[in-house]
Chain A
Amino acid sequence: MAEGKSLRVAYGEALAELGAQNDKVVVLDADLSHATMTSIFAAQYPERFFNFGLAEANMMGAAAGFAHSGLIPFASTFALFGTGRAYEQIRNSIAYPKANVKFGLSHSGLSVGEDGGSHQSIEDIALMRVLPGMTIFVPCDPLETKKAVFAAAAIDGPVYIRVARPVVDVITVEDAPFIPGVANIMREGVDVCIIATGLMVKDALAASEELGQKGIGASVVNMHTIKPLDVDCVLQMAQTCKAIVTTEEHSVIGGLGSAVAEALAGQSSVKFARIGIQDKFGRSGKPEDLFKAYGLTALDIERQCLSLLR
């Protein structure tokens, strides 16, 4: 198993690697290059790195300008300030004209930890998901983060990559495909299907393991692309399994759980539950304490599966 690392480090390294292959790639940041790790790219390609200071709205608008000029901008800051403060720039200057802008936004979700609720974006997927033409990747480990960066560059149009802060073990394999909009089935079982994204994939795998010990077969779907959602996979799972549980480090409103619910509505009567942040803001604390307090652990997933199957 390859060594674990922070997804933002994997993101910064991938940008530098991509930059070596493609001189159209430019990187923008808003005074957080040492947090988003675009600093790795900046050190190698200073002439293609642009720091906008604390001015996220200006940065996103400028990213559209780069794209309109034939370049491939990757703009980075924290998920909250990128999708939040610069929302309308993304909406009208990037998504509406289908500008070829990528934004890798770090420090998403509760795993930001001690900085607290003002910095924990629990709504970024929802905000991006309502924009027509937006692609959304939520990688689960360093390998997938790198694949997401390269896949984003290959797409013509806006792409949001949600990059979590913690150090994460590698849980996927080098030659696993990363096809936008095609989910990866990591475990197969016929009793229940856990559809997970981002940091929750490892907990879904752990829960599946525990359920297996109890004689319950749990599929695990790694939904690395939230949009376009792999609806075929969701409906397939609804036929094979007796229940579906989604899990994400995001509000249950508007994220993966909502997207899966929308796919199932009117199509399936499979038992269904969503694990995620239950319409609350975050708060300060160590990430592991917060995941417990907000019901986002492998144990919570296991219990939810058991209760649906009961």
Chain B
Amino acid sequence: MDDQALLEKAAAIRTDIVEMLYRCQSGHPGGSLSCVEILMALYYRVASVDPQNPSWEWRDRVVLSKGHGCPALYAILADKGFFPREDLWRLRQIDSHLQGHPDMRKTPGIDVSTGSLGQGASVAVGMALAAKYKKARYKVYAVLGDGEIQEGMVWEAAMSAAHYRLDNLVFILDHNGLQIDGSNEQVMSLGDIMAKFEAFGFKCRKVDGHDIGGIAGAISAPADGKPLFVLAETVKGRGVSFMENNAGWHGKPMNADEYGMALDELKGRHHG
């Protein structure tokens, strides 16, 4: 897929997210829209996965540790053919395999069940250690939220990643600056995130989190035998102007007007 096609794909994925979340009248628009390009860089550029064989042993692993962003992941997995696209419209409904937070026992293509923030980081460390033990060459990518890294266990995970020299592990931070109760700065300041991960023994890079090529480059470049941390600067609610940079859209359902406005905007961008 060339860059232009990827841009159009990103708009289409966002449209799917808006459609899914409007239909179920619940879920998390802001954090789903902010991680679209990060997940696209993984699924369309970097990660080696097989939609025909989701549990292929030697695939790369993707852990959406910020599980509430799963509408973005579901839209991408459907686009890649892991399950039928129609399934998207039953998100969060009873008996749908698409749960409010990713469920590895229900949805093909989900590597780890997440939703309780912080835990995906540790699971990713375990998978990376297992890959080393199995002498396998696959990589483990974990996508974290910036509010999420306030959890102490993320730093336990980071410590162990460096201790075991997990050069097959990449943490990608969806750094949109917001969480639920406000900005990271207001709620619990994170300080110098790059310096912190560096101090924990990671190779660190910062990228524009809405530039698929840039993200793909940053996560694929060698990391000097260390675990890699990629800080992706993003905009929460990206692509729907009234949601952008607004913590109020973390977990709010759209009404009919807002849904219409969001679709118009995304379709407009898509076509021109």
Instruction: Please determine whether B181 and A114 come into contact, CB atoms closer than 8 angstroms.
Output: no
Q: Cβ of A52 < 8 Å from any Cβ of B?
A: yes
A31 to B187, CA, bound (A): 7
Segment touching A, from B39-47, B148-156, B230-238: B148-156
Question: Quick one: which of A58, A116, A117 has the most chain B CB within 10 A?
Answer: A116
Structural contact, B147 and A31, CB atoms closer than 8 A: yes
A29, B187: Cα distance in complex, Å: 10
The reply to whether B188 and A52 form a contact with Cβ atoms under 8 Å apart is yes
Q: Scan B64-95; emit 1 where CB is below 8 A from any A CB, else 0.
A: 00010000000000000000000000001111
Closest A residue to B94 by CB, please name it. A285
Query: Which chain B residues lie closer than 8 Å to A29 at the CB level?
Result: 181
Residue of B nearest to A35 (CB): B180
Q: How many residues of A contact B (CB 8 A)?
A: 32
Q: Is the CB of B93 within 8 A of A85?
A: no
Any B CB within 8 A of the CB of A62 = no
Q: Does B205 contact A (CB under 8 A)?
A: no
| Beta-carbon contact of B179 and A284 below 8 Å | no
Report the separation of the CA atoms of residues A285 and B99 in the bound assembly, to the nearest whole angstrom.
9
The yes or no answer to B132 lying at the interface (CB within 8 A) is no
Q: Is B34 an interface residue (CB 8 A)?
A: no
Q: Is the CB–CB distance between B103 and A117 below 8 Å?
A: yes
Contact yes or no, A55 B67, CB < 8 A = no
Interface residues of A in 23-61 (CB under 8 A from B): 29, 31-35, 39, 51-55, 57-58
* Contact yes or no, B152 A116, CB < 8 A: no
* Contact indicator B26/A31 (Cβ below 8 Å): no
Q: Does A113 contact B (CB under 8 A)?
A: yes
Given the interface pairs A29-B181, A35-B180, A51-B187, the reply to whether A116 lies near B150 with Cβ below 8 Å is no
CB distance from A42 to the nearest CB of B (A): 9
Q: Are A34 and B116 in contact (CB under 8 A)?
A: no
Max chain A CB contacts within 10 Å: which of B67, B95, B116?
Answer: B116
Does the CB pair A119–B179 fall under 8 Å?
no
When A31-B188, A118-B114 are in contact, do A284 and B181 touch as well, CB less than 8 Å? Answer: no
Of A32, A81, A114, A116, which is within 8 A of B180 by CB? A32
Known A-B contacts A32-B181, A34-B180, A54-B148; the reply to A118 vs B94 at CB < 8 A is: no
CB distance from A290 to the nearest CB of B (A): 7
Asked if B24 is at the interface (CB within 8 A of a chain A CB), the reply is: yes
Task: Considering the complex, give the chain A residue whose CB is closest to the CB of B147.
Answer: A54
Query: Which residues of chain B (143-188) have a CB below 8 Å from chain A?
Result: 147-148, 150-152, 179-181, 184, 186-188
How does the 8 Å CB contact mask read for A277-307 relative to B, with 1 for contact and 0 for none? 0000001111001100100000000000000
B76 to chain A, nearest CB (A): 19
A283 and B94 within 8 A (CB): yes
In the complex, A119→B94 CA distance in Å? 15
Do residues B92 and A116 form an inter-chain contact, with CB atoms below 8 A? Answer: yes
Interface status of B245 (Cβ within 8 A of chain A): no
Q: A288 — nearest CB in chain B belongs to which residue?
A: B94
Partner of B181, one of A31, A55, A293: A31
CB distance from A122 to the nearest CB of B (A): 14
A257 to chain B, nearest CB (A): 24
Q: Is there a chain A Cβ closer than 8 Å to B100's Cβ?
A: yes
Bound-state CA distance A39–B248 (Å) is 14
Chain B residue numbers with a CB within 8 Å of A32 are: 180-181
Is B241 on the interface with A (CB-CB < 8 A)? Answer: no
Partner of B117, one of A54, A116, A290: A54
Q: A208 to nearest B CB, angstroms?
A: 28
- With a cutoff of 8 Å between Cβ atoms, the chain A residues found around residue B115 in the complex are 115-116, 118-119
Contact with B26, one of A55, A113, A283 (Cβ below 8 angstroms): A113
Question: Which single member of B27, B93, B103, B150 contacts A55 (CB below 8 Å)?
Answer: B150
Q: How far is the CA of A57 from the CA of B188 in the complex (A)?
A: 14
* Contacting residues, chain A, for B180 (C-beta < 8 A): 31-32, 34-35
Query: B150 contacts A118, CB within 8 Å?
Result: no
Query: Is the Cβ of A114 less than 8 Å from the Cβ of B100?
Result: yes
Q: How far is the CA of A55 from the CA of B150 in the complex (A)?
A: 6
Query: CB distance A55 to B100 under 8 Å?
Result: no
Q: Report B's interface with A, CB cutoff 8 A.
A: 24, 26-27, 67, 92-96, 98-101, 103, 113-118, 147-148, 150-152, 179-181, 184, 186-188
Q: A54-B150, A284-B93 are in contact. List 19 more A-B contacts (CB 8 A).
A: A31-B179, A31-B180, A51-B186, A53-B179, A53-B187, A85-B116, A114-B26, A115-B115, A116-B92, A116-B103, A118-B103, A118-B114, A118-B116, A119-B100, A119-B116, A284-B98, A284-B99, A285-B93, A286-B94
Q: List 23 A-B contacts (CB under 8 A).
A: A31-B180, A32-B181, A35-B180, A51-B181, A51-B187, A53-B187, A53-B188, A54-B117, A54-B179, A55-B152, A57-B152, A113-B26, A114-B26, A116-B115, A117-B99, A117-B103, A118-B103, A118-B113, A119-B100, A119-B115, A283-B99, A286-B94, A289-B94
